[in-house]
Amino acid sequence: MAVAAIALSTWLEAELRSDQAGETGAVWIYRGVLATRPDPALRQFCLQHLATEQQHLAEMNALLPKQARSVLLPIWRLAGFLTGFLPACFGERSVYLTVAAVETFVQAHYQQQIVHAELNQYPDIKKKLVAFMQDEIEHKDEATNLAGEPAGSVAARWCELVGAGSEIAVKLARRV
């Protein structure tokens, strides 16, 4: 039997819409990297992360009814795909730096939801978001370690762009 949908406040529905859009984008980042037929080490990294992001997405899908999801999902899929595909064309270090930039953003995004007082009314969802954030922190740390040295100037500009793009995506996905 399907789990009965919980009545979500307007705030929480908007936040979960942005989370569901973000986890969709995350899944497609790894599909974008994998489309470039990466070397075994990077491929393994992507497959592991992809499995976690698919799990996050499945749990978000269970929380957020279809009619409440972002109407821009095709755009989030494409944006995610390109966020993985483009750096992968420049090599594995670019991918690790990109993942670190994305996960830095995602950690802060989940954090602002977790500390919001309204979330205390939804203890089960809060628990989930805390667990997701923990996974994203692990992803960020793993990618940062694999990248080794900090980003050079071109990669740093790209990572800034990824952060700014994620910010805009969240703002839009909260609304539509």
> CB under 8 Å to 40, separation ≥6 — which residues?
none
- Residue 148, both tokens: 């080794």
At 65 the three-state DSSP class reads coil
The Cα–Cα gap between 86 and 13 comes to 32
String marking each residue 5-34 x if it binds Fe ion according to CB under 5 A: ------------------x--x--------
Q: Which of 139, 158, 162, 166 is in the footprint of Fe ion by CB under 5 A? A: 139
Complex with Fe ion: residue 141 or 160, whichever CB lies closer: 141
User: How far, in Å, CA of 150 to CA of 157, rounded?
Assistant: 12
The yes or no reply on residue 109 touching Fe ion (CB under 5 A) is no
- Asked if 95 is part of the footprint of Fe ion (rule: CB under 5 A), the reply reads no
CB of 89 to Fe ion, least distance (A): 21
Residues that bind Fe ion (CB under 5 A): 23, 26, 53, 56, 136, 139
